[in-house]
Structure 1
Amino acid sequence: MGKAIFMTGTGTEIGKTVVTSIVALALERLGMSVSVFKPVQTGLAEDGVSFAEQYWYERVAKIPTSEGMYYMEPAMSPHLAAALTGTSIEPERIAERLEQLKQRYDVVLVEGAGGLAVPWCERGGRWYMTCDFVRDYELPVILVSLSGLGAIHHAVTTATYAETQGVRVLGLVFNQFDEREVIHRNNIETITAMLKLPAFATVPPFSAVTREELEAFAGQWIERKEAAALWEVLAVEV
């Protein structure tokens, strides 16, 4: 039986998909079978036909991707996209698919839509949130954060919300990190100290986001041994 990790972020458009790709490529380099699973997808890619994340994983990163379950064209929160398209999101069906994938892969990276406080549907007079699924099915979380101004507030509030909801955050990955920027360096020091969580990686801006660049960074990431705590959780030897 494989393991599943939920990839979430401190907001939208912060690079969850790029970071998920890097984690997947690093785990492949370490000899593990990996699949990315994005069960709920909204919004189309630039071609106007494919769904954005599915297009990215298949055409750009070229990573084994398990077929999603709920594809909705409006680029909106899942609950609104579902209402507008007459879609009924059923968390139990997603959980069943995830269990099947864990039988086939060493690691399944489950990418969320937006952050943890994103509603999927209404159930029993209350909103069923992303964090409810993560908690109900005991998925540990990697939190993706930007590195610049505002990162402290967004990371701390997200991690605090996760804790109040019974969600276990393993650590953070900081995206768009520039070593020359004092605020970036200090943000990471401050956030990890405040939350008492490890920074698994600092991901720089890429000149051209290609599989080759992502693979190169994944190799460097392994060599630097920054993610020792993550590899330990996944029982991977580096």
Structure 2
Amino acid sequence: MGKAIFMTGTGTEIGKSVVTSIFALALERLGVSVNVFKPVQTGLAEDGESFAEQYWYEQIAKLTSVEGLYYMKPAVSPHLAAKLTGTSIEPERIAEQLERLKQRYDVVLVEGAGGLAVPWCERGGRWYMTSDFVRDYELPAILVSLSGLGAIHHAVTTAAYAETQGVRVLGLVFNQFDEREVIHRNNVETITAMLKLPAFATVPPFPVVTREELEAFAEQWIERKEAEVLWEVLAVEV
């Protein structure tokens, strides 16, 4: 039976897909079979035909094992996309698919839509949130944050929300990190100190994102041994 990690962010357009791709490529380099599971996808890619995240993983990152479940064209929150398209999002179906994937792969990286406080559907007179699924199915989470101004507030409030909802956060990844920027360096130091969580990686902005660039960073990331705690959680030998 494989293990699953939930990839979430401090908001939308944080770079979860970039970070998830790097994780997947790094795990593949370590000889681990990995699947990227994006259960709820909304919005189309620039070609107007493919779904945005599926296009990213298959055409840009060129990963071999990518799956989804709910695909909805409106580029809005899952609960609204479901309403507009007459779709019924059933968390149990997502959980069943996840269990099947865990039977086939060593690690399943589950990418959420937006952050933890994103509603999927209404059930029993209340909203069923992304955090509910993560908690109900005991998925440890990795928090992807931007590195610049505002990162402290967004990371701290997201982590606080995760704690109140019973979501276990393993650590953080800081995206769009520029070593030359003092605020970026200080944000990483401050956030990890405040939350008492490790920073698994600081991912730079890529001028042009290609599989080759992602692979190169994944290899360097492994060599720097920044994610030793994560590999231990996943029982991966480096």
Quick one: which amino acid aligns to residue 124 of structure 1? G
Superimposed CA distance per residue, residues 193-219 of structure 1 (whole angstroms, 9 cap, x where no aligned partner): 000000000000011100000000000
Q: Which residue of 2 aligns with 1:49?
A: 49
The normalised TM-score by structure 1 is 0.99
Q: Which residue of 2 aligns with 1:105?
A: 105
Runs (5+) with no aligned partner, structure 1:
none
Q: Which residue of 2 aligns with 1:149?
A: 149
**Alignment partner of 1:69 is 2:69:** yes
**Alignment partner of 1:58 is 2:33:** no
Percent pairwise identity: 89
**Alignment partner of 1:11 is 2:26:** no
Separation of aligned partners in 1, 2:187 and 2:67: 36
**Which residues in structure 2 correspond to 1:82-97 (within 5 Å)?**
82-97=82-97
Separation of aligned partners in 1, 2:43 and 2:227: 32
**Alignment partner of 1:180 is 2:180:** yes
Separation of aligned partners in 2, 1:109 and 1:229: 17
Runs (5+) with no aligned partner, structure 2:
none
Separation of aligned partners in 1, 2:65 and 2:89: 20
Q: Which runs of 4+ in 1 moved over 4 A?
A: none
Quick one: which amino acid aligns to residue 109 of structure 2? L
Superimposed CA distance per residue, residues 147-180 of structure 1 (whole angstroms, 9 cap, x where no aligned partner): 0000000000000100010000000000000000
Count, aligned residues: 238
Superimposed CA distance per residue, residues 21-73 of structure 1 (whole angstroms, 9 cap, x where no aligned partner): 00000000111000100000000000000000000101110112333111000
Q: Which residue of 1 aligns with 2:194?
A: 194
The normalised TM-score by structure 2 is 0.99
Over the aligned positions, Cα root-mean-square deviation in angstroms equals: 0.5
Quick one: which amino acid aligns to residue 8 of structure 2? T
Separation of aligned partners in 2, 1:172 and 1:66: 23
Q: Which residue of 2 aligns with 1:203?
A: 203
SS of equivalent to 1:138: coil
Q: Which residue of 2 aligns with 1:218?
A: 218
